[in-house]
C-alpha cells in the first residue's frame, strides 16, 4: 500500500511569509500550493485535492474566517489551521468554534508548522486495487491489515454487513507472501447446507448421486494462496467440527475419498455477528472460534469513518460512471454534504447502491441531492469523531427538523433583505446549497422568491 501525500494549500497575502512557509515545506519534502488570498484558495480547492489548508486570518478582501466558513460549506472534511497574531487570539478561538482544527500563533518555528500539519492532515492511502483510506480509522485499519499480511496468521474480520470485509481480505492477500497464489472466496451463508461440505472439501467420483467426476474443493483450489471463509458463523454445527479438524491438521479429505490432501493455505474468516454471543448461544463452536480468532480485526462501520464517505462516493461515481457510459459526472457540493449527513446503516454497500442509482436518475453532468434520495440533515454537518449523525434512527424527528431548518434559512434570507450573498455569509453555507434549499422550498410552496 502506498501513501501518496496530497499537497498542502498555503493561503498568505504577505509575500515574504508565504515564501518562508514554502521554503519550510520544500525542505521537509512536502508538496504544496501557495496562494495570496481567499478567492485564489477557493479556486485551487475546486481544481484539486489537498491534505490540509494553512491560512492567515488577517487578509483582504476575504479574511481567514470567511474562507474557513466557505471551506466548511464546500469541503466539511478538510482540516484547516489558521495563522494569527497574539492580539487576535480571541478571533482565533471563534474560528475554532467555526470549524478550524487549530491555530498557530505568529511568529512560529518551522517545526511547529510541520507538527500541526502532521497532526491534522489527511493522508490519502490507496493501493493498486483502489482501496481508499482517508479517515484515520481506516488508515489504522489498513496499517494493521498490512502488518498481519506479512505473517501467515489466521485472520478473523468482523463488522457490520456491507463494511467491506472482503475488500480487506483481498488487501491482506495482495500484501502477503502468497500474493502470486490464488484468492478463493466462499460465502458460507449463500450455499445450501447439503452442498457446503462438498463445495469446501471437494468430492470423488461417485461419492453421491450426480458426482460424475472428481472435483477439488475450495481448500484445494486455494493451495499456495488464501481462502476466505465469508460469514463463517452461518456454517452448520456438524460441518464446523470437520472444519476444525482441517484447520488443526492442515489437510483435507474429499467427500468419498480416503487419501488426505496436505494444505498450504492462509485462512481469513469473516462474520457480521457477535461471535462471542454466537458461542454463548451454542450456534458456533468455541474451539473453532479460538482457532479462527488468532488475529482479530474489527472493521469500523462507515458512519465511524466519516472522512471516507465522499472519497469513496467519488470513486464509485468514476467506476460506475464508466460502466454506465456516464464519464465526467461529478457530485455537487450539496450532494456531498447530503452524503456526509447520512448515517449509512448499509455501510459501503449502501453507498455504492446510492451512487449507481444517482447515476441513473441524473441526466446532466452533476449529481444533486435529489438524485441521491436521502433524508436531508438539519444543519451543515461538522464531522466529529464518534458523534452520531442523523439517519434512520432519528426518522421520527426528521419532519420537525426539516421545518426548523426551513424556518431558519428563510428567516436569515428575510433578515438579509433577500440578499443571497448575505444569507450564505450569515449561515456559513455554500451558494449551491442555498440555491438547492430554496428550490426545494419553492416546490413545496413555502417560498415564492
What residue spans define the domains of the chain?
2-122, 132-298, 304-444
DSSP 242-262: HHHHHHHHTEE--BT--S-EE
The pLDDT, as a whole number, for residue 3 is 46
Same fold, 2-122 and 132-298: yes
Rounded to 10 degrees, what is the CA torsion of 245, 250, 254, 258?
-90
Distance CA 197, CA 186 (A): 12
Contact 69, 42 (CB under 8 A): no
- Give the CATH H-level superfamily of domain 2-122: Response regulator (3.40.50.2300)
Contact 383, 342 (CB under 8 A): no
Give residue-wise pLDDT tens across range 297-332. 999 999 999 888 988 998 899 889 888 888 889 998
pTM above 0.85, yes or no: no
Residues 152-208 pLDDT 10s: 999 999 999 999 999 999 999 998 999 999 999 999 988 888 788 889 998 888 767
Q: Architecture of 304-444 per CATH?
A: Orthogonal Bundle (1.10)
| pLDDT 10s digits, 110-151 | 999 998 888 777 655 555 455 788 777 888 898 899 889 999
C-alpha cell at position 89: 487570539
Which triple of cell numbers denotes residue 277? 454471543
CATH architecture, domain 132-298: 3-Layer(aba) Sandwich (3.40)
Strand (E) or helix (H) holding 23: helix 15-27
Amino acid at each position: 500500500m502506498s501513501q501518496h501525500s496530497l499537497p498542502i494549500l498555503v493561503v498568505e497575502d504577505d509575500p515574504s511569509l508565504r515564501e518562508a512557509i514554502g521554503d519550510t515545506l520544500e525542505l521537509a519534502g512536502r508538496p504544496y500550493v501557495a496562494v495570496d488570498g481567499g478567492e485564489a484558495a477557493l479556486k485551487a480547492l475546486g481544481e484539486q485535492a489537498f491534505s490540509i489548508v494553512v491560512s492567515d486570518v488577517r487578509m483582504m478582501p476575504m479574511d481567514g474566517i470567511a474562507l474557513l466558513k466557505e471551506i466548511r460549506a464546500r469541503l466539511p472534511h478538510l482540516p484547516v489551521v489558521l495563522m494569527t497574531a497574539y492580539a487576535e487570539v480571541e478571533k482565533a478561538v471563534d474560528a475554532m468554534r467555526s470549524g478550524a482544527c487549530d491555530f498557530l500563533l505568529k511568529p512560529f518555528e518551522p517545526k511547529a508548522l510541520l507538527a500541526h500539519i502532521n497532526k491534522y492532515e489527511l493522508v490519502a492511502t490507496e493501493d493498486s486495487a483502489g482501496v481508499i483510506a482517508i479517515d484515520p480509522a481506516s488508515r489504522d485499519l489498513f496499517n494493521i491489515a498490512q502488518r498481519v499480511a506479512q505473517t501467515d496468521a489466521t485472520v478473523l474480520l468482523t463488522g457490520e454487513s456491507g463494511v467491506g470485509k472482503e475488500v480487506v481480505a483481498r488487501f491482506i492477500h495482495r500484501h502477503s507472501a502468497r500474493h502470486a497464489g490464488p484468492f478463493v472466496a466462499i460465502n458460507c451463508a449463500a450455499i445450501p447446507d447439503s452442498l457446503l461440505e462438498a463445495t469446501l472439501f471437494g468430492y470423488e467420483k461417485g461419492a453421491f448421486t450426480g458426482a460424475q467426476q472428481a472435483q477439488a474443493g475450495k481448500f484445494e483450489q486455494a493451495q499456495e494462496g488464501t481462502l476466505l471463509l465469508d460469514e463463517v458463523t452461518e456454517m452448520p454445527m456438524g460441518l464446523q467440527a470437520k472444519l476444525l479438524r482441517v484447520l488443526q491438521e492442515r489437510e483435507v479429505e474429499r467427500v468419498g475419498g480416503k487419501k488426505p490432501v496436505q494444505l498450504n493455505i492462509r485462512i481469513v474468516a469473516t462474520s457480521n455477528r457477535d461471535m462471542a454471543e454466537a458461542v454463548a448461544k451454542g450456534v458456533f463452536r468455541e474451539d473453532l472460534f479460538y482457532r479462527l480468532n488468532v488475529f482479530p480485526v474489527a472493521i469500523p462501520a462507515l458512519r465511524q469513518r466519516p472522512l471516507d464517505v465522499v472519497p469513496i462516493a467519488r470513486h464509485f461515481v468514476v467506476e460506475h460512471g464508466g460502466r454506465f457510459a456516464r464519464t465526467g459526472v461529478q457530485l455537487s457540493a450539496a450532494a456531498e454534504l447530503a452524503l456526509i449527513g447520512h448515517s449509512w446503516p448499509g455501510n459501503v454497500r449502501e453507498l455504492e447502491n446510492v451512487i449507481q442509482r444517482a447515476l441513473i436518475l441524473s441526466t446532466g453532468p452533476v449529481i444533486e441531492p435529489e438524485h441521491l434520495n436521502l433524508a436531508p440533515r438539519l444543519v451543515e454537518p461538522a464531522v466529529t469523531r464518534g458523534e452520531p449523525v442523523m439517519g434512520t434512527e432519528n426518522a421520527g424527528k426528521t419532519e420537525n427538523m426539516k421545518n426548523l431548518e426551513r424556518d431558519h434559512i428563510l428567516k436569515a434570507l428575510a433578515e438579509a433583505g433577500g440578499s443571497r450573498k448575505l444569507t450564505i455569509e450569515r449561515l456559513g453555507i455554500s451558494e449551491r446549497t442555498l440555491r438547492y434549499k430554496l428550490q426545494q422550498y419553492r416546490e413545496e410552496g413555502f417560498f415564492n422568491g
